Amino acid sequence: MHHHDASAEELTQAVVRYAIERVRLDPPPLDGPRTPTELRREAGRTITEDGIGGTEALRIFADVLAPACISIDHPRFLAFLPAAPTEAAVLFDLVVGASSIYGGSWLEGAGAIFAENEALSWIAGLAGLPEGAGGVFVSGGTAGNLSALLAARWRWRHLANGRHDRTRGLIVASTGAHSSVAQAARAMDADVVLCPADVSGRLSGAALEQTVAGLLAQDRDRLFAVVATAGTTNAGVVDDLAAAAAVAESTGVWFHVDGAYGAAGLAAPSVRDRFAGIDRADSLILDPHKWLFAPFDSCALIYRDPESGRAAHTQQAEYLDVLHPVAEPGQESGPWNASDYAHHLSRRARGLPLWFSLATHGSNAYTEAIETTLRVTREGAVLI
């Protein structure tokens, strides 16, 4: 299986040819789901003792399985949150897979992590976060929100000097918050208090302030994070981030912004003012596979102070000691291990396709593309 012989070369050419042809399709076929019975009948038995061969496996994928997957980059696919990755990002995803990069530690993946950090720094700059802000790319908004809130809880407990080590924490979020916020709370064994959004689905500072003020004393003591949304899933509504930041700051809790869907709008001058206050976030997530034209899956998780993320997530074990050498006096701090900044250890260097596309096209091309999507949306709204 690991020898590159004539058969492997033939398969390599066939797979690359398929990828190139798929990239060239403009538009690709829309396609659609099939039933398990239909797929079983048409695909047949694919896992056998002796194998069916790469050529046959690729044929089954191209003729049977791929047509049973909706092409979410099709211009007529308007459901959910479609992705339209650039050709540069798609092609570099092939390179990432072929390179067998472990993206968890600086020791093993320094070059890849350096490039990912370049892309993260660009996003942090768009948000107006201070120099030194940073984080990691995770699989999606669910993983990003969970990891950010784990860091928030860690800081809350750390500042309490052990007083809250066994206290069930509390999060305040909007009724328009993504479902993953409640899911993160369940995973963390924390509670969520939902603040009512206004008729447009926007979280206001007044409503948030009233919700926090209305907490019982024991619940106020449990509060460790306020979550605001920069682009709700249903309507793309951006909460009053500046007011939410003010409430979080006045109560001394972590301010997290879920910008998985909408925060890419920071790259568009025409709507950047809608995100006022995002620069005050303690953590921020943004999914490049949604509006920054990257392939699945990719979520940028950025901390104002990455040390909180590192302290919350660094795993300790004898076999990991080599990844965390003690810095000598006068040396830089320890290595930037991407695995230390989220709830994971093994990780793909999933930020590289975005980095490559940004490096290829430049950030101005991204600004132009996002402004174009906004213009088309406005024109579509008028027609509807």
- Domain identity same for 304 and 364: yes
91 belongs to a structural domain: no
Checking if the pLDDT of 15 tops 80, the result is yes
- Domain identity same for 267 and 321: yes
Q: How far is the C-alpha of 310 from the C-alpha of 348, rounded, in Å?
A: 18
What pLDDT score does 80 carry? 84
275 belongs to a structural domain: yes
Q: How far is the C-alpha of 183 from the C-alpha of 142, rounded, in Å?
A: 8
Average pLDDT value for residue range 141-153: 98
- Domain identity same for 244 and 357: yes
- Domain identity same for 51 and 175: no
- Domain identity same for 134 and 21: no
303 belongs to a structural domain: yes
Q: Name the residue among 337, 276, 310, 332 with its Cα closest to residue 110.
A: 337
Q: Name the residue among 333, 331, 296, 292 with its Cα closest to residue 311.
A: 333
pLDDT in tens, 290-317: 999 999 999 999 999 999 999 999 999 9
What pLDDT score does 78 carry? 83
HEC letters along 50-62? CCCCHHHHHHHHH
Which tokens belong to 123? 């996003």
Count of the separate structural domains present in the chain: 2
Residue 372: which pLDDT band, with cuts at 50, 70 and 90?
Answer: very high
What pLDDT score does 299 carry? 98
Average pLDDT value for residue range 32-45: 98
- Domain identity same for 67 and 141: no
Under 8 Å between Cβ of 144 and 285:
yes
Q: Name the residue among 279, 257, 263, 349 with its Cα closest to residue 125.
A: 279
Checking if the pLDDT of 280 tops 70, the result is yes
pTM of the model: 0.95
With vertex at residue 289, the alpha carbon angle to CA 82 and CA 368, rounded to the nearest 5 degrees, is 85
Average pLDDT value for residue range 151-157: 97
Q: How far apart are the first and last CA of the chain?
A: 55
What pLDDT score does 108 carry? 97
Q: What domain range includes position 28?
A: 6-79
Checking if the pLDDT of 330 tops 70, the result is no
Q: How far is the C-alpha of 204 from the C-alpha of 243, rounded, in Å?
A: 7
177 belongs to a structural domain: yes
- Domain identity same for 50 and 126: no
- Domain identity same for 33 and 126: no
1 belongs to a structural domain: no
317 belongs to a structural domain: yes
Checking if the pLDDT of 328 tops 70, the result is no
pLDDT in tens, 56-94: 999 999 999 999 999 999 988 888 887 899 999 999 999
38 belongs to a structural domain: yes
What pLDDT score does 181 carry? 98
Average pLDDT value for residue range 97-104: 97
User: 79, 113, 131: which is the final residue of a domain?
Assistant: 79
Q: What percent of the chain has pLDDT over 70?
A: 98
Average pLDDT, the chain: 96
Average pLDDT value for residue range 158-170: 90
Q: How far is the C-alpha of 14 from the C-alpha of 291, rounded, in Å?
A: 31
Give the helix/strand (H/E) hosting 350. none
**Who contacts 275 (Cβ-Cβ below 8 Å, separation ≥6)?**
127, 230, 238, 241, 259, 263, 265, 266
- Domain identity same for 156 and 265: yes
How many Å is the Cα radius of gyration of the chain?
Answer: 23
- Domain identity same for 49 and 148: no
What pLDDT score does 83 carry? 87
Residue 331: which pLDDT band, with cuts at 50, 70 and 90?
Answer: low
- Domain identity same for 140 and 273: yes
Indicate the range of 47-56, 97-106, 161-170 predicted with least confidence: 161-170
What pLDDT score does 125 carry? 98
- Domain identity same for 283 and 135: yes
85 belongs to a structural domain: no
Checking if the pLDDT of 332 tops 70, the result is no
- Whichever domain contains 333, its CATH number is 3.40.640.10
Q: How far is the C-alpha of 228 from the C-alpha of 212, rounded, in Å?
A: 14
**Who contacts 84 (Cβ-Cβ below 8 Å, separation ≥6)?**
73, 293
User: 26, 44, 79: which is the final residue of a domain?
Assistant: 79
* Torsion sign, CA atoms 217, 222, 226, 232: negative
